[in-house]
Amino acid sequence: MEGAKTKALCPECEREMNCKVEKEYINNRSFPVNDEFSIDVCDTLAVLICQGCGVGFFRKNSWHSEAYDETTTEIFPPCDPVAHSPKFQSYEIVEFSLDSGADMFLYGLYLEISSALNAGLTKLAAMGIRTLADGLCIKLVGEQPEGISANLKKTFEEKHISQSEFELFSRVLEIGNSSAHRMFSPALDDVRLCLEAAERLMHHVYIAPKNLQKLNAVQTPPNTRKKRTP
């Protein structure tokens, strides 16, 4: 039962510990063999929090009626979060540094956000992403006196971003705002999505214009095909 106490082998403490049932899901199934008998199966999946070390882990208890007295218990140690590796590697810092100190600040912030995310610091990362996204908007349209939402709105109005990007970045700002001002703890996966959105904006601001310059310099054969007459 969620909220209840249970004993379990904590993978961190490596011994039987008092744990709190954080989440639980009970999956009962019954397979009829004939009119009289059935085989019953029950899996109990639980996220437990060790009351000693505070680590959260997954326990799966499996039982079936063919071995009536046995319950098998599997304990899964917590997985490390998948590390976020910054998309824009150090050689690109040189390109970032061309324009202004603000660019170096934003790039440094971006690297700090990646580190925070890798350490599971979702609130810090979300606040940082909000500042990063805002800084990129200011880079595109200048700072609006009405503040952060106005900067994003202006970025949309000047057609730097599409309607769907505007909606996406509005959510990114809101998640960062709530983390900074309303004691909100965003989930790791959601903050990853926020960072992915901010990376798209970084690409738009820094990488795409330079790529355009390079591609514009490519000599392509002139188009000699005659225009069709309507």
Tell me which residues touch Zn ion (CB under 5 A). 10, 12-13, 17, 50, 52-53
Residue 94 CA neighbour count, 13 Å, CB half: 2
Q: CB-wise, 70 or 80, nearer to Zn ion?
A: 80
Kindly report the three-state secondary structure assignment for every residue of 188-210: HHHHHHHHHHHHHHHHHHHHHHH
- Smallest gap from Cβ 6 to Zn ion, in A, equals 13
Compare residues 16 and 99 and give the one whose CB is closer to Zn ion: 16
The smaller minimum CB distance to Zn ion, of residues 77 and 142, is found at 77
Q: Which is nearer to Zn ion, 53 or 75 (CB)?
A: 53
State in angstroms the smallest separation of the CB of 51 from Zn ion: 8
Yes or no: say if 113 and 128 are a contact pair by the CB < 8 Å rule.
yes
Our CB check for Zn ion shows the closer of 39 and 53 to be 53
Q: How far is the CB of 47 from Zn ion (least distance, A)?
A: 14
Torsion-angle region of 20 (φ positive above 0: left; ψ -120 to 50: alpha; else: beta): beta
> In angstroms, what CA-CA distances link 152 with 99, 149, 162, 163, 183?
21, 5, 11, 11, 23
Closer residue to Zn ion in complex, CB, 22/157 = 22
Closest CA to 137 of 162, 110, 155: 155
Q: Are 48 and 56 in contact (CB under 8 A)?
A: yes
Q: Min. distance of Cβ 4 from Zn ion in angstroms?
A: 17
Reading the block at residue 111, the tokens are 């690297």
Minimum distance, C-beta of residue 123 to Zn ion, in the bound complex (Å): 24
Task: Looking at 120-187, list the stretches that DSSP marks H as alpha helix, in order from N- to C-terminal side.
Answer: 122-141, 148-157, 163-181
CB of 59 to Zn ion, least distance (A): 13
